[in-house]
Amino acid sequence: MTRYARRYSFAPSDRSKSPPPPYSTRPPSIYSRLNEQTPLVVHVKRSEPASYQPRWPISECLLVLLIISICVTVFFFLYRTLSGYVPTIPVLPRTYSVAIVGAGPAGVSALQHLYLESRNRNIHLNVTLFEASPLIGGQLALNDSTGGPVFPYNDPEQAPIIAEDITGTALAWSNPLFTKSSEEILGDKLEFAERPSQEVSYVFGSDIVSQNSRPYNKMSFFRWMGLIFHYGSSVWQAGALVDQGTNIRFVDAPLTTDIMQLMINQDIVEPVQEFAQAGLDSRGIGGAYETEILGPQVERIHAQGIPNINTLAMMLAAAQEDYANAYVGGELIDRLEQIVAATDVTVRTATEVTGIKHEQINDHESAWLVQHGASGSPGLGAEPFHRVILAAPNFDLYRASSIDDVEAASGLTYHPTYVTFFTLPQRLDEFGDVDQILFHEASGRYHAFREVRELAFVREVIRIVDGHTVVEHLYRALSDNGVPQEIQDSLGVTWLHQVRLENAHPDLFPYRYFPPFRLSEKGLWWTSAIHAIASTVDMSWLAGKIVAEDVLKGL
């Protein structure tokens, strides 16, 4: 018998007695896994859902979060690498250096506009303000030999001489563009008060040819009728001329470098290009009124006679003389100093700029070299600037630039004037007890006050003499060559301060050609181009804004 032979049983098995398995859709292969003990019908026991949720430990949760973070980081790293993504490094804006030469109204206006607008436009500027005088304010900021303000009797206890003592107390009121711009940066509001009317004498030779009061709208009826009787219709026509000049405002003027377009916008093309005499003839103003009253008014403001100026200059002169002291409020120099202090610019007073040249400073860059030194000092230095604004009519600087610049600057000429302040122990009554005396230009041939255009009472001053209080009277004189010594002796002058303003008055001919504000495409501007139209604080302020805006547009 074979070792591994199966033993047979002749008894019937349980399997043989079972019926064949029912038909099933299961594949035959499943039955190969069945054995003798596998039941033919499998009863699947349906499990009940669990009654609780398993909770993961905190450490496992943190591990999962760490794995997810690593996966996300790896994903973004691979995405940037495979897709060619290159992260951009933020580039800091370039810082431009700007030099402003002159700290008068035009220079401070340019400074303020650059300061405010560069921040609004995210332009980085490094601005340096140069001023030859030790004080901010330009020609109207008088200073003494020590570099400080001018005080009567050189006594710091006295009120200093200010710009309003030269021009009249209504300086801020009559220049609304400057006033509103200063309020914008200083965050205040100027208040103005009316002043009483003033008496004015008009002198030809040694004779008083006329007396009236200013402003025109406060003149008494009987005084007005007396002028009508003497001068006729020229009186009320001149009143209309004053109104026209007063209503000329540049508050909403466009910041365009095209002077012709500026004049069109302000509707002043005709009066700028018209001789003043033609303007008077068309308005019916002439005769004795023109000679005795209007002529001295124009000479006081512009140091030029009516035949030599345009109609706009005549209108402005009549208006300025009329309201010169009609209002009081605000001080020009004080507000200019506050504006400069409100900015973060570098200020260099008592520093004279002697030359400007555009040169190559390295292999890749050129710049304007501004040569300067301390006023009265022989030592000079030079600094490079990307842009330069000339806010002072200094022709030496123009000649140092280029031939084209000289041609542009040569179109404008200026007249000097002497401003003299002096004190008297009593009121000056030689020409009546009045506040202002205006001399006709021919007076010098007949009287000691030769070449003096104006004498005006400014204010009372009080000083202590030997322990006693003494009240004296401060006067102002405007002249071509200063107040002669013989007048000082005859009047009994107790104190005097006299200064020559080199570029006090631009020649205001009826221009047909207007110089550009931009002297060089390489980045040189000047504000004096506006003097082809007129010369006021507001005109200078507007010029500063125009030039500063053009500088910003090119950056």
| Position 47 confidence tier, pLDDT thresholds 50, 70, 90 | very low
Q: Is the pLDDT of residue 28 over 70?
A: no
Q: In 3D, which of 61, 105, 62 has the Cα closest to residue 337?
A: 105
DSSP strands (E only) in 255-385? 327-328, 346-348, 351-360, 366-374, 381-385
How far out from the chain centre does Cα 256 lie? Answer: 14
Distance between CA atoms of residues 93 and 346, nearest Å: 20
Whether the link from the prior residue into 215 is cis, omega within 30° of 0, is yes
Distance between CA atoms of residues 154 and 384, nearest Å: 40
Q: Where are the domains of the chain?
A: 95-150+330-413+511-553, 196-251+264-324+414-506
Angle, helix 537-553 to helix 176-186, in steps of 10 degrees: 60
Q: How big is the chain, counted in residues?
A: 555
Residue 22's pLDDT is 53
Q: Is the pLDDT of residue 175 over 70?
A: yes
Collapsing DSSP to helix, strand or coil, 97 comes out as strand
Q: Is the pLDDT of residue 111 over 50?
A: yes
Query: What's the fold here for domain 196-251+264-324+414-506?
Result: Polyamine Oxidase; Chain A, domain 2 (3.90.660)
How far out from the chain centre does Cα 448 lie? Answer: 44
| Position 494 confidence tier, pLDDT thresholds 50, 70, 90 | very high
Query: What average pLDDT score do residues 456-463 get?
Result: 95
Residue 467's pLDDT is 84
pLDDT digits (tens, 9 = 90+) for 332-347: 999 999 999 999 899 9
Lowest mean pLDDT among 80-84, 123-127, 172-176: 80-84
pLDDT digits (tens, 9 = 90+) for 295-325: 999 999 999 999 999 999 999 999 999 999 9
Classify residue 244 by its DSSP letter: H
Give strand pairing partners of 457: 475
| Position 429 confidence tier, pLDDT thresholds 50, 70, 90 | confident
Residue 238's pLDDT is 96
For residue 449, with 0-12 CB atoms within 10 Å meaning exposed, 13-18 middle and 19 or more buried, which class applies? buried
Lowest mean pLDDT among 358-362, 383-387, 543-547: 358-362
Q: Is the pLDDT of residue 138 over 80?
A: yes
* CATH superfamily entry for domain 95-150+330-413+511-553: FAD/NAD(P)-binding domain (3.50.50.60)
Residue 171's pLDDT is 97
Distance between CA atoms of residues 549 and 555, nearest Å: 10
